[in-house]
């Protein structure tokens, strides 16, 4: 069940009936965008201000230009295309030159505010691609509210076939597959799955109302050592989208945070539904939390 967040004086939150929330089971395979693209992805889900990121390309282009944008700062038409990311530029365009498969470019991350960002990549022939990432705060607790972006669920619903075996590199591509890879480019020119319906409306609402928050990827939440540390940093943790796949440590951290008086808001369905194990850039789906020998509270 989704909870609709109402804040006095705030602009209305988008109607959740317009959101295509997805649940457990085989996901419908949506055909990839046919528009010309540049395929690339950052190797990590999130970065800190002032760090250097690695952007890996998986195709060829004679010349690529890159510009970094913050997402959610410009209203997006509900009926617009699903393979477009919009935002406000936070950097000047940079000429990356020619790229080839598996070539890497280092990207300097600015001292920007925490949020969801993306690199917009353009190349001759009208080619456009996006490479999103979360910019976490330099330290936890810059704001007293944290927003967790479901980067693990993004990749679970990513049907890109990076290893070329004819099947998407995710368990949704076949019932006998139990792994999904992180660090892959997304289909639809790099736009995360269900971005326009699940993630973007909340980001636009937060930006429109000028709410301050720290943004965390799943990997950032997983790196917090204890629930006490999370509680000391934040009075509220918001899960705005489909936080379906979490590790045991993530579950334990959030459970302990709540038991210490921390507040939680879930704005989607099937949160903390499946247990996963992460080994490097590979997630393995193990079991539903509710089917454990001792079911965990949800």
Residue 110 in tokens: 């600015």
* Alpha-helical segments (H) within 119-199: 151-156, 187-190
Phi/psi of residue 206, nearest 5 degrees? -60, -45
pLDDT in the model for residue 168: 86
Domain residue spans in the chain?
38-291
CA–CA separation, 190 and 121 (whole Å): 10
Q: Is residue 191 a contact partner of residue 13, using CB atoms and an 8 Å limit? A: no
**C-alpha 201 chain-centroid distance:** 14
d(C-alpha 223, C-alpha 218), whole Å: 9
**Per-residue pLDDT for the chain (298 aa), expressed as one digit of tens each?**
344 454 545 555 454 433 333 334 455 566 889 999 999 999 999 999 999 999 999 999 999 999 999 999 988 777 778 899 999 999 999 999 999 999 999 999 999 999 999 999 999 999 999 999 999 999 999 999 999 999 999 999 999 988 777 788 899 988 788 999 999 999 999 999 999 988 999 999 999 999 999 999 999 999 999 999 999 999 999 999 999 999 999 999 999 999 999 999 999 988 999 999 999 999 999 999 987 554 565 5
Q: Which residue do the tokens 């006095």 mark?
A: 8
Task: Give the pLDDT confidence score for residue 31 in this predicted structure.
Answer: 80
Instruction: Return the pLDDT at 218.
Output: 97
Q: Identify whether the C-beta of residue 102 lies closer than 8 Å to the C-beta of residue 54.
A: no
CATH C-level class of 38-291: mainly beta
Whole-angstrom distance, CA of residue 84 vs CA of residue 68: 14
């Amino acid at each position: 069940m989704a909870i609709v967040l109402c804040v006095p004086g705030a602009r209305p939150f988008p109607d959740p009936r317009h959101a295509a929330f997805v649940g457990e089971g085989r996901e419908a395979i949506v055909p990839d965008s046919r528009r010309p693209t540049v395929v690339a992805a950052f190797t990590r889900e999130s970065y800190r201000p002032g760090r250097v990121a690695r952007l890996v390309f998986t195709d060829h282009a004679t010349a690529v230009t890159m510009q970094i944008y913050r997402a959610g700062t410009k209203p997006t038409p509900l009926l617009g295309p699903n393979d477009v990311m919009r935002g406000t530029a936070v950097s000047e365009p940079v000429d990356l030159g020619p790229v080839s498969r598996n070539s890497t470019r280092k990207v300097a991350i600015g001292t920007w505010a925490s949020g969801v960002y993306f690199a917009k990549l353009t190349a001759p022939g009208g080619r456009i691609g996006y490479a999103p990432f979360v910019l976490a705060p330099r330290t936890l607790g810059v704001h007293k509210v944290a927003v967790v972006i479901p980067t693990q669920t993004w990749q679970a619903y990513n049907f890109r076939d990076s290893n070329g075996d004819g099947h998407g590199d995710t368990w949704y591509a076949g019932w006998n597959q139990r792994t999904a890879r992180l660090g892959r480019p997304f289909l639809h020119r790099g736009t995360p799955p269900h971005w326009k319906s699940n993630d973007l409306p909340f980001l636009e609402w937060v930006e429109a109302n000028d709410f301050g928050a720290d943004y965390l990827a799943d990997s950032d939440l997983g790196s917090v050592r204890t629930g006490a540390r999370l509680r000391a940093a934040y009075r509220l943790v918001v899960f705005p989208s489909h936080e379906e796949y979490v590790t045991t440590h993530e579950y334990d951290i959030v459970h302990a945070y709540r038991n210490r008086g921390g507040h939680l808001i879930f704005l989607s369905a099937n949160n903390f539904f499946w247990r996963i194990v992460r080994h490097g850039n590979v997630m393995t789906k193990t079991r539903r939390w509710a089917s454990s020998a001792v079911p965990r509270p949800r």
